[in-house]
Chain A
Amino acid sequence: MAVRAVVRRSFYQDSMVLMSVAARLRGQPGVREAAALMGTPANHALLAAAGLASPEVKGAAPGDLVLVVDAESEAAAAAALEAAGAMLEERSRASGVLRRPRTLEAALAARPDANLAVISVPGAYAALEARTALRGGLHVFLFSDNVSLADEVELKRLAAARGLLCMGPDCGTAYLGGIGLGFANVVPRGRIGCVAASGTGLQAVVSQLAALGEGISHGIGVGGRDLSAEVGGTMTTLALAALARDPRTEAIVVISKPPSAAALPALESAIRATGKPVVVCCLGAASSGAPGTWVSTLDDAADAAAALLRGVSWSPRAFSDPDSVRARLAALGPARGTIRGLYTGGTLAHEARLLLEPLLGATGHRILDLGADEFTVGRPHPMLDPDARAAQVREAARDRDVGVVLLDVVLGRGTHPNPAGVVARAVRDARETAARAGRGLLAVASVVGTDADPQGRRHQVEELRAAGVEVLPSNAQAARFVALALRPELALALLGPR
């Protein structure tokens, strides 16, 4: 066995590149394990914990690239490191990195007509870049998470004072003028404008609208904390005013967690001031007489907005096809055990929790948001790198209490090319593990996306079904399906009389 490391000074690479370099290293002959990471304090701690903190690695700075391999022989380790080095050299040459500006200031000086900065650097540096962009007069799409609340408040105040959008921090998705930013589904342009404090919430609503034959004018992301007491809805109110003035926008959907008491009055007066029909989906909040049409699921948000525009009546429904749900449940028989929800979309996880708790109580069920800050420090978001979630699916099968895994599969530009394929392999393994232990494991999922997405919704659904996954038309319906599988006596309440 040989552990070898090399450090390349001043050779910053983003987390996606690091992921592919690590994969290349692991694919080399005789390599057992490998890592490719920047020399940040968090990564030094990881390397030390793994027993890989060799003297040459210890001096690496955050801008230095560290490659480590654990191989069967010295020769295999050296050959693998050489192959990874060649890959990085080739990448630098091919992408023209050497000719690019090294700072945002330099880029803005060379391109004075730039009007939007898309920022996805590590959170500790993101506020600095966003401030530079806003001062330069650019709207900002701030994908980075792990940005402090104090920085967020300051950035949004700066943006609002200059009439600029600061979409984020932690903004996964937005659409401006028909261009999708971040994780964006391929949807038609149309007459519905969205303001979203949730990336996956926005993805779910625009995908559902597309399925209903409606398109969107713009989808303005604001980051998950915009309606907190501290931020006070600064960007939500600015975005609502912009959509009110926008001639394409005929109706508006607001997607968020419940607003804080401090932000609610500003939200209400901004909704009133639009003069357009507004659907409000603040997951977990009731309307209490506020203006707008308040709904309780993402499904309902899309359905209500389409109905409002068409002038038809609308009422919430538990399932779009109750008969097929009844038939599937009868074929499966009742499920046992607890639920392990393994989500890549935070809002989808939150929605599932809100639906399941009143139906099942909180006894042992766990719904995890694997895109939360605590899971993503130093590694890509699970929509980019689905392996961490796949490992959790396999792990859940080893827990004798778990009888159901509940999953989301989120498609769109910018996300993994085949998330359903990764989930399907993990579910097959997990079900085998459970079967060997004499247990059943029910896997239930929903797919957020459209047939126009690069992954193709229909194809992804088929791939999941081939692995034995029950696929429902939406996240809310998947959660209710799980509740019914565990407690068949809920059938009358959720499915109506037979």
Chain B
Amino acid sequence: MTLDAGLDQPLRVVNVGLELFAEQIEAQGAAVDRVDWRPPAGGPDIASLLARLED
């Protein structure tokens, strides 16, 4: 959904991080999927490097 569709489209949320934000959005009636996030192996620098290599 880009901004061309306007700002009033129903939200379909993916939450990556604090669980309380997912709960709070659900409590307002929007659908939320949660990622069971954990730090990538090797730390942020290696992960960032790998992501760039994939480009």
Interface residues of A (CB under 8 A from B): 10, 12, 14-17, 38, 62-63, 95, 97, 100-104, 106-108, 110-111, 113-122, 124-125, 127-129, 131-133, 137-139, 143-144, 162-165, 176-182, 184, 217-218, 220, 238, 241-243, 245-246, 248, 384, 413-414
- Known contacts A100-B36, A137-B1, A137-B2; is A62 also within 8 Å of B18 by CB? no
Contact A179 B16 (CB under 8 A): no
Among B7, B9, B38, the residue within 8 A (CB) of A63 is B38
Identify which of A125, A132, A180 gathers the most chain B CB atoms within 10 Å of its CB. A125
**Does A116 contact B40, Cβ atoms closer than 8 Å?**
no
Residues of chain B from 31 to 55 with CB closer than 8 A to chain A in the complex: 33-41, 43-44, 47-48, 51
Main secondary structure of the interface of A (DSSP, over half): mixed
B53 to A: closest C-beta gap in Å = 13
Q: In the complex, are the beta carbons of A131 and B51 less than 8 A apart? A: yes
Decide: B4 and A163 in contact? CB cutoff 8 A: yes
Contacts A118-B15, A177-B8 known; A125 to B40 CB distance under 8 Å?
yes
The one of B11, B19, B39 in contact with A122, judged by C-beta atoms closer than 8 angstroms, is B39
Q: In the complex, which residues of chain B have a beta carbon less than 8 angstroms from the beta carbon of A138?
A: 1, 14
Size range of the interface on B? 35 or more
Question: Of A62, A106, A176, A245, which contacts B39 at CB under 8 A?
Answer: A62
A133 touches B17 (CB 8 A): no
Per the bound structure, the CA–CA distance linking A104 and B40 in Å amounts to 12
B24 touches A414 (CB 8 A): yes
Known: A107-B35, A117-B14, A137-B1. A246 touches B7 (CB 8 A): yes
CB <8 Å contact, A114 and B37: no
Q: How far is the CA of A128 from the CA of B49 in the complex (A)?
A: 10
21 contacts between A and B (CB under 8 A): A10-B38, A15-B18, A16-B18, A95-B19, A107-B33, A110-B33, A116-B14, A118-B14, A119-B16, A124-B44, A128-B47, A133-B14, A137-B1, A138-B1, A164-B3, A165-B3, A177-B10, A177-B11, A179-B28, A246-B7, A413-B27
Nearest 5 interchain pairs by C-beta: A120-B17, A12-B38, A163-B2, A124-B44, A115-B1
